[in-house]
Amino acid sequence: MPLSRTPRCTCIKISDQPVNPRSLEKLEMIPASQSCPRVEIIATMKKNGEKRCLNPESKVIKNILKAISKERSKRSPRTQRKA
Amino acid sequence: MPLSRTPRCTCIKISDQPVNPRSLEKLEMIPASQSCPRVEIIATMKKNGEKRCLNPESKVIKNILKAISKERSKRSPRTQRKA
């Protein structure tokens, strides 16, 4: 079966619809790898656990990351540690 | 059982150890919620599937996000779509 080594990505179609950061249960980022040549971003929705693939190029992602980090700094205003 | 409604976070301890973006299988971001008052970042390692909680305040996260987005723009130099 020559097709058995075909790279497999998790996402089949990618949504460009805006996603409200508050309605997110979690956001998964999967780096590009041998099994999938592109970065994949999968949002799991709170309401129904629905998973949605988002376009990593889109503003949606930047807004979500910004919203998450804002929320973060509001809730835990710790000083930054050196790694 | 008065403790049954205690908020539950996924992370018990948070690692400040540097993580190589190339050794990541995926990165999960869980926004703060009623069940956990802080943002949680969980890295799954390629090698053994080990999950590690990372400090969202740390440089590690910024480096990983930068590395992921660099890799992204190298591999898919598409123009940005308006959401």
Q: pLDDT at position B11, please?
A: 93
DSSP 8-state symbol, B11 = -
Q: Which residue has the tokens 């999967």?
A: A30
| Contact: A59, B80; criterion CB under 8 Å | yes
pTM of the predicted model as reported, rounded to 2 decimal places: 0.72
Q: Using one digit for the tens of pLDDT, what is the confidence trace for B12-60?
A: 999 888 888 888 899 999 988 888 888 899 999 999 999 999 988 777 7
* Angstrom distance (rounded) from CA B4 to CA A24: 24
Cβ atoms of A60 and A16 within 8 Å: the answer is: yes
| Contact: B72, A56; criterion CB under 8 Å | yes
Q: Give the best residue of B26, B60, B73 to mutate against chain A (max A CB count within 10 A).
A: B26
Q: What is the mean pLDDT of residues A55-61?
A: 79
Residue type, A36: C
Strand, helix or coil at B60? helix
Please name every residue paired with A82 in a beta bridge, in sequence order, or none if there are none: none
List the 33-52 stretch of A: residues with Cβ below 8 A of B: 37-39
